[in-house]
Amino acid sequence: MPKSLLFIPDISGFTKFVQTTEAEHSQHVIAELLEVLIEANTQQLRLAEVEGDALFFYKEGQILSQEKLLAQIETMYTAFYSHLKLLEKNRICPCMACASAIHLELKIVAHVADLQFIEVQNNRKPFGEAVIKAHRLLKNSVESDNYVLLSKELATEIKMPLDYKSSLFRFRESVNTYDNIPVHYIFSEIAVDNLKLQPFQQGQTITLLRPPNLQIERTIPANAEKLLELITNYKHRHLWAVGVDEIHYDEHEVTRLNSEHMCVIGGKHFNFKVVSKVPKANEIVYGEYTTSPPPVDTLYHFFNIKPISDTSSQLTVELFWEARSVIKKLMLALFVKKGFKKNINTSLNKLQEVLANDRI
């Protein structure tokens, strides 16, 4: 029977990251990174299982060539670190999970063997000694947490020099002992600076050289991070936003610059994109931009949060709008501005109730 490839990308630093940061945001970050790695699978590897912080791929009865294997490894590292850069540049949340995500790293272990399979509830998965060995290789003496490791059997099978070198890889030999049996392998730390990271759309920071059309200030009895979480986590939006019937968004994504969501208000659909503006000293800014709601042509809605103490914050809500036609400007002056003001005040009252009742 032809030998099979076992391939395990593992996010380094996961345990410390989850234990020492905000649980929900850390879970979202890890889930996003795992999705990125799955999408970076260009060699039709089969996903056997998601193992918390790792993915277990295999290719039954087939081994990738040296060129294809190294290309697949480089593609995954490029996708992983490109996404970390996106998270860093478009971050609005100051929590430890979002702030420390940039320090996560990736290791990949690959092995070759004759595979055995087990079927449970119509789910066929590899098992046996080869699977155990591949996972044991994750526990090794490599000092870095950012490397690729190939078992010596795999290196031999694909005729790869044990000291293979390129602009990205610098392989060298090593050995560890498991159950009194020496296991040889080659490994290379990854030169992240040599990766050609993928471009991404950087979030928009707005400069508005005029006063807001509407501004409302409140002292909110909550610390700044909790208040920001309530405002930016769309699963809570129905608890306090007046008139919002539904909200559609990516439930697996931490809200950041360029995040998009759609609100259903009175049966009509309004599309929003997250933006920001330059904050004042000691201030957190979250903003939304839309061209949807009549009679405005564009609308910027900013929540400016300034900590007062560990238990209170100053919240300033600002609306900036543009209306090109005379009729639209007249409608805004006579009716719409009053409606905006009423809805914002009602929403802020409900927001304070949610916080007072500790509903998040």
Q: What is the pLDDT of residue 328?
A: 85
Q: What is the pLDDT of residue 124?
A: 86
Closest CA to 75 of 38, 105, 32: 38
Q: Judge whether 220 and 312 are in contact, CB under 8 Å.
A: yes
Instruction: Name the pTM for this structure.
Output: 0.88
Map tokens 């969501």 to a residue: 261
Closest CA to 273 of 294, 257, 285: 257
Q: Judge whether 151 and 198 are in contact, CB under 8 Å.
A: no
Measure the CA–CA gap between 324 and 145, rounded to whole angstroms: 55
Q: Which amino acid is at 261?
A: H
Measure the CA–CA gap between 162 and 154, rounded to whole angstroms: 11
314 sits in which H/E element = strand 312-322
CA-to-CA dists, residue 7 to 43, 70, 81, 110, 165, angstroms: 11, 12, 19, 4, 21
Q: Which two tokens stand for residue 181?
A: 């049996």
Beta strand pairing status for 147-151 and 105-113?
parallel
Measure the CA–CA gap between 101 and 36, rounded to whole angstroms: 14
Q: Judge whether 81 and 26 are in contact, CB under 8 Å.
A: no
Q: Which two tokens stand for residue 193?
A: 């600076």
Q: What is the pLDDT of residue 201?
A: 84
264 sits in which H/E element = strand 260-265
User: Mind giving me the DSSP string for 266-306?
Assistant: TTEEEEEEEEEE---TT-EEEEEEES-STT-SEEEEEEEEE
Map tokens 């009679």 to a residue: 295
3-state secondary structure at position 253: coil
Please confirm whether the linkage preceding 295 is cis (ω < 30° from 0). yes
Map tokens 């700044």 to a residue: 224
Q: What is the pLDDT of residue 177?
A: 94
Q: What is the pLDDT of residue 107?
A: 97
Nearest-5° angle of CA 182, CA 188, CA 192? 150
Q: Judge whether 62 and 69 are in contact, CB under 8 Å.
A: no
Q: What is the pLDDT of residue 168?
A: 95
Q: Report helix, strand and coil shares of the chain as percent, to nearest 5.
A: 35, 35, 35
Per-residue pLDDT of the chain (360 residues; tens, 9 = 90+): 689 999 999 998 866 666 655 678 888 899 999 999 999 999 999 999 999 889 999 999 999 999 999 999 999 999 999 999 999 999 998 888 888 889 999 999 999 999 998 888 888 889 889 999 999 999 999 999 999 999 999 999 999 999 999 999 999 999 999 989 999 999 999 999 999 999 888 888 999 989 999 999 999 999 999 999 999 999 999 999 998 999 999 988 889 999 999 999 888 899 999 999 999 999 999 999 999 877 889 999 999 999 999 999 999 999 999 988 888 888 888 788 898 999 999 999 999 999 988 766
Q: Judge whether 136 and 65 are in contact, CB under 8 Å.
A: no
Q: Which amino acid is at 348?
A: L
Structural domains of the chain ordered from first start: 4-194 (3.30.70.1230), 205-356 (3.30.530.20)
Q: What is the pLDDT of residue 19?
A: 62
Burial string for 264-286 (b: 16+ CB within 10 Å, else e) reads: ebeeeebebbbbbbeeeeeebbb
